[in-house]
Structure 1
Amino acid sequence: MPVKAFRYPKESLGDLKADIAATLIAATADVALALDGDGVIRDMAFQRADLPLELKNTDQWVGRSWQATVAEESQIKIEQMLEEAAAHKVPRWREIRCPATRGPDVPFLFSAIAIEDRRRNVAIGRDLRAAAALQQKLVEAQMVIERDYSRMRNVESRYRILFQMYSEPVLIVDAATHRVVEANPAASILTDGSLAHLVGKLFPDALPIDDPSVAQGIAFALRAQSRIENKRLSLGDGRQFVLDGMLFRQDLSSFFLLRFAPVATAYVLPAKPDLTLQMQQFVEDAADGFVLTDHEGHLLHANAAFLQLAQIDSEKRVHGERIDRWIGKSSVDFDILLLNLRQQRSLKLFSSVVRGELGSPVDVEISAAMLGSEADPNLGFIVRDVGRRIGGSIAPHSEIPRSREQLVELIGRVPLKELVRETTDVIERMCIEAALKLTGDNRATAAEMLGLSRQSLYVKLRRFGLADIGEYDDNRIE
């Protein structure tokens, strides 16, 4: 962006003396360097007294080339800035990293201008550590928000499941308007079998209550009280219910949660059909493998899909065998699965392999749960073949673990050297993605922010699948 200069500098500022100009420059920059035409430091100023102590060998800077005082990857940027200053081009800010006394290099944002007919230059630098710390806090705050959002979404999901599966009619009524805002499927028995006759209608007018005085009493209780207990009501068809309700608040609004308990002698909900045989048939005919074992992992039953994966011609031949004979690259793999299952009682998407009796391993995902009592539980496993998925030809363990739990699951199945390399890849990819996001996908600026050369950044972009092979977006390079 072009510099917006003073319109009449001589009239508005006059002829500034050198000491006044030096004070102004030092006051507006964290570090200011006076350079000769060859880029050698002739003088310097720091806004804070502690800043030169944090940088390496600042007492030796005067008389040395500016390029020699910075990190190696920043030297080419200094050369470009000095060339632009000599050509009297509009100065641009570039990130320069200076070696620190201890710890990582200190990032600065530098700009250079030429004075006195190209014989001298002035470089002005701003310390970027405060901005980097703010960016880190922003990232951490975003991660906290995402975790809280995920937690709230899980809570809402559990509430929805409970609300939908509850066998008794439940209504949620707006305390201000007395309109029904939500009803569970069981509430359809209160009307003609359709929830459309309840949601959005006034309560209790939407119910076919045969006694007007009872309806008026319920409406009065809603307005005057925060709780309704054991309110008996009869519908027009003779069915009787006991109404209980309470007031709760959500954000700035108030709602009533109303539960209708059918009187046992008046109305009986239709019994659900016996689905045991259909469930057994589903398990046997499913495309995924279903396996039932005892608490030690000895096979009790397996469906046809698992027998096919394990290349077993008859279940009777292997009944009682531990299933780590087929599941996992080794017994350690299956022991890790059992340990997690005993601690959590259920798990899902556990990556493993099934080793067939006659062929090569097949990549699978395993979901499992403990069944029965704590004292003597059985274990149920669902084994899904993922070898034919798109991208399934990728080498084993090429996927990058993105959480501590995924890393724990890989312990015992992947060498420590590969775990360390993959964890490093995670951090490196996250940093590159964050830099591209902060710079609006300007890859040249992102490379400077990360302290990389442009060529190194392109190599890493191709490696992580963030750019097409051969893509060099030169139009966006500074």
Structure 2
Amino acid sequence: MKTSTRGPIGAGRRRPSGKAALGDLEGADVQRLVSAASDVALMLDADGVIRDVIVGSEAAAAENTGQWVGRSWIDTVTVESRVKVEALLRDAAQAPRWRQVNHPSPSGSDWPVLYSAVQLGSANSGAVRTVVIGRDLRATEALQLRLIEAQQAMERDYWRFRQAETRYRHLFQSSSEAVLIADAATLKILEANPAATALIGGSSTRRIAGSSLTALFEQPGARPLQAALAAARAARKSEAVRATLADGGERVSVALSSFRQDDASLLLVRLTRFGAEPRAAASGEGDSLLLGFVRSAPDGLVFTDSDGRILLANAAFLAMAQLGSEEQARGELLDRWLGRTGVELGVLLQNVRQNGAVRLFSTLLRGEDGASTEVEISASAAEQGGRSALAFAVRDVGRRLSAEPRAAGELPRSAGELAELVGRVPLKDIVGETTDLIEQLCIEAALKLTGDNRASAAQMLGLSRQSLYVKLRRYGLGDLGESET
């Protein structure tokens, strides 16, 4: 009887080694493989000194990584990242791990890179090398920053809505006027304040909520009441009508107005005892209410004469201008705090006199203590007692999120972005930025056309080599260490 020499299925198959799977790769092929797998790769010797740098992205190439060759890896990182570099080198021969390391960047902010180190060879053979694979984290960092800013904006909006809801609840519950809120489609009462409960005669608000609005009145099908309901649905507001509450209740005046909440249309119903309708506020009372609003408004409100001298300023403007009292602002010219240049207020006043009003004029408000705030101004002209006056509404827009925030020091890249600077930056600064932008773009194009040959690029641009080196240093283009010598 013959015995089989074959083992279990798959036992005779050997897993191919890395060499058998990858084949005999050339050095150039290995370099391309590492470049494709990383944004930046470092080749270290046994002492941790960088012997070669492989760059796999244009963003990493702009960080002057070529200057790292011949330096110890630990000397190219920030102080707080040195411990991480030591840990990466220590774990390279065992279980490689990923760690974030920061490099100083020519742009000013640190360059975050996620590294993993792998040791090749062994200490016994005497040919120990370490390959460090790095991935650029700036895109992830920018997304995280945008996420944090969006979350903070959402939290500010949430608390603002909560505060508005608290004020509404307090006003609704403490109002002496009977107020009901009903669904405009079904006329079902959703809410009623204590004054409405006392007027209608119910024992609690819960019993009124859920009942029909028309059930509160005698003759619910009366023409005036039905006409008022139809007018409120169609025109958002109706004239007050008189009706009698059910079960021998009082005669009341019913005022209806509609508003939308989410996707539903609601009715605001105000009930007033007949003969006790609130009279219109007298002129003095209206002025008092308006002045109270001006004093407590969240936006800065300023009233000036026709020459721009401040007559009245509310607390919000005083806070933005870092002033302790209104007396410090009264009689002063508004351009002491408003505008980047001395001509902005003159332009604003001229537009207000010609057009009667100006909307969303962007400028800068400077505080007494040196702080500055980006603001938008809306202004209008008015007359009181035969005297001309100007009113300014100043709104802080510095906290608004930019859709695509520009990096610090980055030049505008389009005519539209340059146009946005008009009114915010003096003309000579705009011209200077435009000149710098064109000069930088021409130098970059010349270097690209000449294959980074500085002598040929200088000849192409009509510059001396020394002038070209000065401009390269100014714009941070390339490594000037060896080329300048």
Compute the TM-score of the two structures, normalised by the length of structure 2.
0.49
Compute the TM-score of the two structures, normalised by the length of structure 1.
0.49
